[in-house]
Amino acid sequence: MTTSEKNLRVCNKGHKYYKSTDCPTCPTCEQERKPENGFLSLLSAPARRALENNGITSLEKLSTYSEKEILKFHGMGPASLPKLRTALLEGGLSFKS
């Protein structure tokens, strides 16, 4: 297994971080953006961004998609589905069939 060289980066807010990929996301900024409550707070940063980038910020909007459609979003993985199912169920909703 090869290890990638990590490069020092500085985000627009001045946070310094190291990345070995070309991903522009600052981990400090991402942590600051994480909601404290709600279904988006249950997800990893990539899964949360996947929903947000597709305009899904409410359970009502989430319920208009099928699980298959959600899994097609870049950054969304199968590990997030149980959390989303539970959040929908608690809100009296479900994924589209």
Q: pLDDT of 17-76, one tens digit each?
A: 888 888 777 777 777 777 788 999 999 989 999 999 999 999 999 999 999 999 999 999
**Does position 6 have pLDDT exceeding 70, yes or no?**
yes
Q: Tell me the pLDDT tens digit for each residue of 75-93.
A: 999 999 999 999 999 999 9
Question: Any idea of the CA torsion for 83, 85, 30, 49, to the nearest 10 degrees?
Answer: 150
Q: How many helices (H) and strands (E) does the chain have?
A: 5, 2
**Position of tokens 């991903």?**
23
Beta partners for residue 8, in sequence order: 18
Instruction: Give pLDDT, residue 1.
Output: 54
Residues 6+ apart with CB under 8 A from 9: 16, 17, 18, 19, 26
d(CA 59, CA 90): 10
Give residue 11's pLDDT: 87
Spatial CA neighbour of 47 closest among 22, 74, 26, 25: 74
User: What pTM value is reported for the model?
Assistant: 0.73
